[in-house]
Amino acid sequence: MRRTALLVSAALLTGLLPWATARAADDPAPVPVDRFEGEVPFASQPAEGIFTWGGDSDDPPALRLAARPDAPEGEKVLAGSYDISGYGGLTHDYAATQPAHDWSAHKGIRFWWDGRGNGKKTAFEIKDGGANGEASELWTTSFTDDFTGWKQIEIPFTDFTYRTDYQPVGGIDHVLGLTQMWGYSVTLPTGVKGTFAMDDVELYGKADPSLRASVTTDSAVHPVKEGGTATVRVTLSTTGATPVDEPVTVTYETTATGTATPGKDYTPVSGTLTFPAGTASGASRTIKVHTLKDRTAESAETIPLKLTVTGAKAPAETPQIVVDAHGLPYLNSKLPVRKRVADLVSRMSLAEKTGQMTQAERGAVGNGGDIAAYDLGSLLSGGGSTPTPNTPGAWAKMIDAFQLRAQATRFQIPLVYGVDAVHGHNNLVGATIMPHNIGIGATRDPRLAQRTGNVTAAEVRATGIPWDFAPCLCVTRDERWGRSYESFGEDPALVRSMETMIQGLQGRADGSDLDRNDKVLATAKHFVGDGGTEYGSSTTGTYKIDQGVTKVTRQQLEAVHLSPYQTAVDRGIGTVMPSYSSLDILGDGRGPVKMHARADMINGVLKGRMGFDGFVISDWNAIDQLPGDYASHVRTSVDAGVDMMMVPYGYKDFATTLTDEVKAGRISEKRIDDAVSRILTQKFRLGLFEHPYADTTGAAKIGSPAHRAVARQAAAESQVLLKNSGGLLPLRKNQKVYVAGSNADDIGDQTGGWTVTWQGSSGNIVPGTTILDGMRRDAGTITYSKDASAPLTGYDVGVVVVGETPYAEGVGDVGNGHDLQLSAADQAAVDKVCAAMKCAVLIVSGRPQLIGDRLGKIDALVASWLPGTEGDGVADVLYGRRPFTGQLPVTWPRSEAQLPINVGDTSYDPQFPYGWGLTTLTKTPRGDTPTLRALAAAATVAERTGADETGRRLVTKARLIVQNQVGQRMTPAVAKPFAEADHLLLTGRYGQAARKLLEAYRAA
C-alpha cells in the first residue's frame, strides 16, 4: 500500500514539474547551483563542497546523496538526519581559489524541500562578498515546514535581510550586491529529532530592479519635543554605488493612523521627492514635520510618515515621528523614585506591564521593530552575540538604535540592556579581560576584587550597557562542574569576602551611584545551590552535573549556599538570577524542585527574610525546563517571584501567555505590579529615563594601560605556588630558559570560556600578552618549543605551561568530553622537559588538574588558573617582580575518585589543601611550636578587640611557618586543620585559626 501511494505521488509530481518550473519568456534560464547528483563533493574550504557544522560534536547533521524514485530532478537528492540541541546545519561553499559567482541577473534562489509538516522554521542563508564563503556577509531568511511531500521553495533575493546576530568577519558593506556570491547555508531546526531531503537548488527569474536601488530613512523613529520640528532624512543607495538609470520618486504624507491628532498635535504635510536619472548613490533629501504645543501633560504620541517609492526598493517600515511624553510626574527627576514608579505603574496597561517583564535577545528582534510592538523592557546579548564590527562604537550605536525604538512607546520607558561581563567586558574584542573568579578568589584580596569590578563596570557602561549578569556567587563543591571557574571558591566565607566586587560594579549600596557613567547594575547568580549539584544528576542533554540537583539539609543550605546572598543583599545588589538547577532539601518531602519554581526560596527567603528589593531575572530560557505546559511555566515562575523572564527568542509567546494568564485571573495584577515596580525602580536608579543613550566618554579607557594594570595585578596575585623545591622560583633574568607546553603562547586558552564567544576558543582571539610574551620581556635567553621537540640541552631551567582548552557551563562538565587529566601532548612535554632539566610547571585551567605521580619529577608547580589577557602578570611572579602570594580557593585533589572534596570534610586527604600557597617573599617568617603558641595568643587578643587587620596578619604569619615546616610531606593530619584554619581566618576567628595551624605543625 505504501509503495503504491509512493508511485502515485511520484507520477503526480512528474506531471506537475513542467508547470512548477515554467518561466516567463523574457526570464533568463535557471542556473543550477546544486543538483545533488554527485557533481559537488562533500568537502570544505578552500575547495568547493558541501559540509556540515554545529555547536558541538553532537549537532552537525548526517548527510548522504540518496537515490529516490520521487526525486524532483535527476536520480538523487540530498538527504540527512539531525538531532540538534544547540545549532547545526549544512553549507555549500564555492571554491575559495576561484572567482566568486554573479547571481545579480536573477530574481532569487529556489529549491525542492521534502516537507515533514512539523511547523518548524528552517533558516536559509546566502553568502555575499568578502574573501571566500567563510569570510562573507550573511543574508538570511526562513521558510516554515508546514507541508508534507515535495514543495518548491522560491525565495526572492528581496526577502533576504542582513544577519544581525552573527557575522563571521563583521560588516563588509551591508549591501546585498549579488555580484560576488560564495554559496548558501541551511540551518536546521533545534529541539526536534528528524530527517530532511532537498533537491535542485537553482537561481531563477529576472532580477528585481529594486535590488539595484533602495530608499532608506535615517531612522525608523524620530522623537521630538512638543512644539519642535522633526526632520526625516531620505537617502538613495545603489548596488556598487553606481548612479541610478531611471528616476526614483518618493511620495510622502503624514497619516492619521498614529496616536497624534492632525491639526491639534502637528501640521500635516505631503509632497514628492525626486531623485532624477543619474543621481549618485548616497544622495539625500529631507522632510520636515512641525508639531504643535497644547500645554497639557500627556504621554508620547506617534505620527506615521507614509512613503510610496517608485523605481527603487522602499524602506522596510514606515518611519514615525514621536512627540515626546511631557509634564507627567514620573518624568520629574526631582521626585523620589518610589513616587515616580507608582505614578508610572498606575498609568500602564497590562500589555505594557507584561512587556516590561520580558527580555529578548538582540539577535531575535532584528532591526528592533518588536521593541515598541511588544513594549519590551529589556534586551540582552547572549555569549558571543555581538554587533559587527565588534568595537566599542558599534556596541554603543547598536544599543542606542534599540533605545530609540523604545521612544516610540507610549511612556517611552527605556530598555535595560544586559550582558554577561563575567571577567571584564568579555564579549568585546579589545576589552580588559580579568582572571576568572576562581583566580580572583585565589588572590584573597577584597580590595583588588573591587578594583576589577570598577574596571569592568567602566568598560561595560562606556559601550552603552547598564546591566551586568555578574558576579556569580556560586560555592563550587565539585571540580567536575564545568562552571567551577565562575566561582570564587569552595568556602562560602571566601565567596562572601570577594563580594566587594559588587561595590566595584554598582558603587554605593544604596544605589545612588548607579546613574554614573562608570557603574552598572550587578546580578548575584545563580540563586541558590548551583555549585552543589550532584554528579550525574543533570538531565540537560549530555551535561553531567551542571543544571542538576543539589541535595542538602536545610542547615547545609543555609551555611554553604545561602550565606553569600545575604551579603549581596546587604551590599545592595540590584538583581538576582535563579539557577537552572533543582534544590532537594532533605526531609521536606518535596524532592527536587527547579529553582525557577521555588517560591519558598525566591519570595520567602530572598525577598522576604533577606529583604531583597531589586528584581529577579530568569536564566536563559530557564522556565522551559519547568514541568507542565507553557502557561504553567509562566504562571509557576512568576508566582515564585521571578520578575523578568529571559526568553531570548520566545518573547512573543511569553508576553502573550503572561497577558492571558492575568486576564484569566490565574496570576494576580498585584503580583504583576510588584514585578514591574521592581524593574522600573532600577531603571530610574540607573538614570535611564534622563539618559537612555550611551555615554561613551569613557570609551577611550577600554583596554587602557591603567585598566590593564589592574588586570595584570590580579593575574599576578592569583598565581598559587604549590611546590618550589630548592627555591627554583623566582627565575633569574640571566638564566637560559626553555619554555614548552600548549598554554604558554595561547591567549584564548589563557582567557578561557566566556571570552568573545560563550564557549571561548583557543588561539589569538583578543589583544593582550600571553605568558610567553610576558616572560620574553623579563628574560635574557628564552627558547620556545610548544611540544618540547627542540633540543633540550644547555638550559638552566624549563618552564612548561600546560592545562585546559576553553569551555563553559555544562559543556565543560567532566565526563562530557572533558576530564581532569593533562592532555597526552602536555604530559609528554612535562615528562621530556622535567627529565632534562630543573623545571617549573604552570597549569592554566579553570579547576585543579590531576598531577599524580608526576609531582615528584616537578621542581616547582604553579596553579595559574585562567589569568586573562595580561600574561605579564604571570611573568611578574615568575621573575620576582612581585612575590607569589596566592592561596588555593579550592582543594587540589590527588585523584578524581576523591571528588567531591572540600574544606571541613570528615575525611580529607588532598594533594594540596584549601588555603595552601607558598610565597617567594624575601623575608619568609620562621618559627617553631612556641612561636605558633605566641601567635595564637596574640591572634585571640586581636579577635577580641576587633583588630581584624592585625588578626589576619598574625594568622598569615603562622600559615607561612607551617607551610615551610610541612614542605611536600602532606598527610590528612596536616591537611585537615590547615584547610580549616583558612576558613576560620575568613570568618574572623583568628585565635582558633592560629591554633588549627599549630595542630597542623605538630602533625607535620
Q: How far apart are CA 893 and CA 826, in angstroms?
A: 19
Report the SS3 class of residue 927.
Answer: coil
Residue pair 396/696 in contact (Cβ under 8 Å)? The answer is yes
What distance in Å separates the CA atoms of residue 566 and residue 186, rounded to the nearest whole number? 48
Q: Which residue out of 518, 643, 745, 809 is catalytically annotated?
A: 809
| Cell, residue 61 | 547533521
Identify the three-state secondary structure at position 767.
coil
Spot the catalytic one: 361, 478, 619, 870: 619
Contact 743, 801 (CB under 8 A): yes
* Helix, strand, or coil (residue 722): strand
Q: Quote the CA–CA distance of 676 and 690 in Å, as a whole number.
A: 19
Which amino acid would we find at residue 924? Answer: T
- Asked if residues 175 and 211 have their Cβ atoms less than 8 Å apart, the reply is no
Peptide bond into 526 cis (omega under 30): yes
Contact (Cβ atoms closer than 8 angstroms) between residue 679 and residue 357: yes
Q: Which amino acid is at 836?
A: A
HEC string of 820-876?
CECCHHHHHHHHHHHHHCCEEEEEECCCCCECHHHHHHCCEEEEEECCCCEHHHHHH
Q: Please report which residue ranges of 462-542 form alpha helices under DSSP H.
A: 492-497, 500-506
DSSP secondary structure string for all residues of 613-674: -SEEB--TTGGGGSSS-HHHHHHHHHHHT--BEE-SS-HHHHHHHHHHHHHTTSS-HHHHHH
Q: Are 20 and 152 in contact (CB under 8 A)?
A: yes
Cα separation, 469 vs 575, in Å, equals 8
How many other C-beta atoms can be found within 10 angstroms of the C-beta atom of residue 709? 16
Burial string for 409-444 (b: 16+ CB within 10 Å, else e) reads bbbbbbbbbbbbbbbbbbbbbbbbbbbbbbbbbbbb
Q: In what order do the strands lie in the sheet with 181-187?
A: 49-54, 88-93, 181-187, 121-128, 137-144, 161-162
Residue 619 falls in the annotated catalytic set:
yes
The SS3 call for residue 584 is: strand
Local structure of residue 696 (DSSP, 8 states):
G
Contact 583, 561 (CB under 8 A): no
Strand 76-82 and strand 194-204: the pairing is: antiparallel
Give the integer Cα–Cα distance in Å for 628 and 647: 17
Contact 457, 504 (CB under 8 A): yes
Active site residues: 619, 809
